[in-house]
Chain A
Amino acid sequence: MPVPATHLLVFSLLLFSIGMLGVLTRRNAIIILMSIELMMNAANINFITFSRQLNNLTGQVFSVFTIAVAAGEVAVGLAVVLALFRNRDTIYVDQVHIMKG
């Protein structure tokens, strides 16, 4: 008997909540990006679970797209972190809360 879908969804829920906790509690911008990656992985697990559940490959195709989007997001996000470190000498998000203008 395969793993019931509810357990997979709970697993994905746990990963998503851990990612959300990281985004909400950490100050280091790199760790926040890592937590966003955890949340995207949780979304992918949901896609693939329902792909199996509904006998439809669309979920797997969509998770490939999600991985592509995640790769682009990490590249731009880490570039922003680098630019931030170069200009402000910090990557802690609560030290850059004042905007110019």
Chain B
Amino acid sequence: MTASAAIFYVLASIAVLSGFMVIGSRSAIHSAIYLVLTFLSVAGVYVLLEAEFVAAVQVLVYAGGIMVLFLFVIMLVNLQDSLGDRIRLHATVSGVVGLSVVGLILYLYSRGQLVAVTTASTLRQGGNLQAIGVSLYRDYLLPFEVASILLLVSMIGAIVLARQKS
């Protein structure tokens, strides 16, 4: 096992364990902190997969922006009773549903065999950032502009929804 594979397994275990802690901890603040840990580990996995730009965006947008938003709302809402938060009634049903989905996908994976390949050196000419920039602004210019409109609309929507009624 090479070093990068070992790092991947460590990062993946950290991400999965902290993902469990996200849905398992009693306090929402703890969940948010574990979510940051998950996002950072996933960003590390992106770096291993030679997707450095996405890793940087993951750290900036997720671990930076989205988590601050989460923490603000948690502190604004400030619920005291976080005990008994789970729906006991549905736990069995959701466990069965989740395990069957996991089993189904694992079965489908076992049918086919995927071998690892490395990214062609042509993609790495000029670096990951330049290649993504060219692809984003030449081939995907319209989706890029639509994404900016989507962000504007969601910003206005969030302001309208969250503002105090006068």
Please list the residues of chain A having a beta carbon within 8 angstroms of any beta carbon in chain B: 1-11, 13-15, 17-22, 24-28, 30-31, 33-35, 37-38, 41, 44-45, 48-49, 51-53, 55, 57-58, 60-61, 63-65, 67-76, 78-83, 85-86, 91-92, 94
Contact = CB atoms under 8 A, between A and B. Distances in A.
Interface residues of B, number: 87
Interface in B93-122: 93-95, 97-98, 101-102, 105-106, 109, 113-120
Contacts of A52: 49-51, 117-119
A38 B18 CA distance: 11
Contacts of A18: 16, 19-20, 22-23
Contacts of B46: 48
Q: Majority SS of interface residues in chain A?
A: helix
Nearest to A9: B109
Contacts of A69: 147, 150
A83 B76 CA distance: 11
Nearest to B146: A65
A61 B62 contact: no
A27 B86 contact: yes
Given A1-B5, A17-B102, A75-B154, A94 B22 contact: no
Interface in B42-71: 42, 45-46, 48-51, 53-54, 57-58, 61-62, 65-66, 69-70
Contacts of B119: 52, 55
A13 B116 contact: no
A1 B35 CA distance: 30
Contacts of A65: 140, 143-144, 147
A41 B1 CA distance: 26
B109 to A, nearest CB: 6
A7 B93 CA distance: 28
